[in-house]
Each structure stands twice: as structure tokens, then as C-alpha cells.
Structure 1
Amino acid sequence: MAAQKILFIVGDFVEDYEIMVPFQMLTMVGHTCHCVSPGKTAGDTVATAIHDFEGHQTYTEKPGHNFALNATFADTQAEDYDALVLPGGRAPEYLRLDARVVELVQQFHAAKKPIAAVCHGPQILAAAGILSDRDCSCYPAVSPEVQLAGGRYVATATGFDNAHVDGNLVTAPAWPAHPAWMREFLKVLGSKIEA
């Protein structure tokens, strides 16, 4: 299968690993990846945050890197892309309030294009109204939103290193799931990796 164009939608305080690692992995295997953020243009950056699990009741947050955007949000059209990735972090909590972000997600869903979301990324899926009768993994604190949106929360039975596939939707609970999440997303994309 030919390389595909994949859209990432992010915002300030996207989780550092959840944008950097998937972006690099998908680019490494030959896909063209564009990263956009509302109100920003190609060449702008978003601040990232590093979330870690250090034994507290919830994750901790530390400053991450500045991640350079390589496309302009205002120019983004869903029909120009083959798949969508929604990283987590704090960004999804306000990105889901952006009508154009929600509209783009709905267009990917309506076209049955592959969608990957991790950690808090499913907050955007819930806001877009596309989780009805769907299975969805996410960070456990997001599970009430998944369920209120009509989805079935897939619990993290083995920690945070698993992923779940429901048709074109590939979801995972947090960045420790990257190997499983990206492996399953590549399968849904139909990507072949030659050794």
C-alpha cells in the first residue's frame, strides 16, 4: 500500500511523548504526517507537557519540548488525509470546544477513515459524538466521558501498555501503550513494514 497522509490535531500542553513518538514512528515507516493546531500556522510551535506515573493518585506533569507544526489549521481539509491521530495531554480538554476540530473528527468518522486516539484524546471523540456503541480505551479519568457519549470503556487490564481496536478506531490508555497502539494503527492503515 502506498504511503498515506496522516493528520495530527494538537494544542498547547499536548502530552510530549504522545505527539513526538507517534509522529516520528509514522514518518519513519513512510507516511506523510501533518500536525496542526487551531489558531496556529505552519512553523508555529505548541508547548508540550510530560506526564509521568510516579505513585501518586494521578499523573504528574513536567515541562516538555516545543513541537513545531508543519501545516496550517485554517487550511486543513479532512478529504486531504487518509487517517487522523489525536494525542492526549491537557490539550483535548479545550480542543473539544473548537467547532472546527469537532467537525474535522466527524468528517474522518463519516468517511470511515482510521482514527487513533490515546490517553485524553478520546475526549475529542466524545465531544464529536462518534463513540455511540463503540469500544474505546483511554486514560481511566476519561472513562466517564466515553460512557456518557454512549461508548463502552475498555479498561486497562494489563496496566497502560495495551491498545484496543474497534473497526477504524484504535485507542490506548497512555504513552506506555505506544508499541501496541502504533502496531494496531499500522494494521488498520494497511501498512506493511519490510524487514
Structure 2
Amino acid sequence: MAKKLLTICGDFVEDYELMVPFQALQAMGYEVDAVCPDKKKGDVVATSIHDFEGQQTYSEKRGHNFTLNADFDSVKADDYAGLVVPGGRAPEYLRLNEKVLQLVRDFDAAGKPIAAICHGPQILAAAGVLAGHKVSAYPACSPEVKLAQGEYADIPMDGAITDGNLVTAPAWPAHPAWIRQFVDLLES
């Protein structure tokens, strides 16, 4: 039986950071459920595409519609081997949802692998699971990592870091390293 993974996403999640791991992990034989608070299986979330085009920060364009394949209200950490938290703008409002934060805490308390990328660590910070961990994120999120008592890892955009059960990376150029390290944790 395939290991089940959970992805928490929301409107204006970063397109690549949701779709690439969702599809890549399925291609590796994992069953991946994608959920969003207040939405049901079959509903869609709007994605956004962030790119690095020479300005002082990333640009943002409308991405695709992504169809959810599970209901948020029915998921619990016990049913999954690991958690994926993509970035984009969704984490800034998802971190205000206590059920999202409790779900993250449940994964962490069980020592299950948690992969977060770009702005995804905003949710981990709000859930209070970063203390004592060396964590990467999009550089603009470094103050939140530090305020959550994590150590911000300033690594290249295509790098990833594993500390305990957390696998983090600064942005989608890190997909090869980030997904590999997450799978290594899942298989250990």
C-alpha cells in the first residue's frame, strides 16, 4: 500500500510549489491528498506564479486552477506519513486558521516529516514548531523564522535543508533537493 501524504494549500498558493511536488510524489508511488480549509473535494484553489525577473522581489502572475482531491474537515495526521506545505500567498492567511495550525502540530508531535517551501514556513512558525530548528524559507520570511525561535538558514535558492523532521527550502528552484530530502526522510 502506498504511503499517504497530505498537502495543505489555499487560494494563491504558488503554482509550481503545489503542482510539482503533488505530481512528482505521485509519480514516485505516494498517494497525495490536497486540501484547503472551507473547501471540499472537487473544489478548486487559484494558484499564482512567482518568478525572479530582476526586480527587488519576485513578480506574481495568475496561475492555474488546482482541483482539490480531499476534504480538509476529514483529515487527521494519524492517516498520513508526511505533510507538504507549499508557499505563495496562501500561507499568510492559512496561518490564521487554528485547525491548520493544530494539524501541523499533530504532524510535528508525531515526528512525521514536514516539507515546507518558500512562504510555507510562515505556517510552521505560527504553529510553534520551528524552535531549535535550522530552517530555510523565502528570505522575506526570515524574520518570522527567527521570531519563532528557529535559526534561519540562508542557503542558495536551489538548496534545501533537513533538520529533524523538517525539510525546508527558499523557493521552487529548490524542488530537486527539497523533494529528494523529503523522500529520504519518508523512507528512513
Give the TM-score of the pair, scaled to structure 1: 0.95
- Secondary structure of 2:104's counterpart equals helix
Distance between the aligned counterparts of 2:27 and 2:110, measured in 1?
Answer: 26
Q: Which of 166, 182, 186 matches 2:183?
A: 186
Q: Which of 156, 168, 171 matches 1:174?
A: 171
Following superposition, the deviation at residue 3 of structure 1 comes to 2.6
**One-letter code of the match for 2:53?**
E
Following superposition, the deviation at residue 113 of structure 1 comes to 0.3
What does residue 54 of structure 1 align with? 53
Following superposition, the deviation at residue 89 of structure 1 comes to 0.1
Distance between the aligned counterparts of 1:94 and 1:100, measured in 2?
Answer: 12
Distance between the aligned counterparts of 2:167 and 2:186, measured in 1?
Answer: 10
After TM superposition, the structure 1 = structure 2 runs for residues 10-21 of structure 1, keeping only pairs within 5 Å, are 10-21=9-20
What does residue 70 of structure 2 align with? 71
Distance between the aligned counterparts of 1:3 and 1:115, measured in 2?
Answer: 18
What does residue 121 of structure 2 align with? 122
Give the TM-score of the pair, scaled to structure 2: 0.98
**One-letter code of the match for 2:12?**
F
Structure 1 residue runs without a partner (length 5+): none
- Secondary structure of 2:46's counterpart equals strand
Structure 2 residue runs without a partner (length 5+): none
Q: Map Cα deviations across residues 81-111 of structure 1 (whole Å, 9 max, x no partner).
A: 1100000000000000000000000000000
- Secondary structure of 2:142's counterpart equals helix
Distance between the aligned counterparts of 2:3 and 2:111, measured in 1?
Answer: 15
Deviating 4+ runs (over 6 angstroms): none
Following superposition, the deviation at residue 151 of structure 1 comes to 0.1
Identity %: 63
Q: How many residues align?
A: 188
**One-letter code of the match for 1:169?**
L
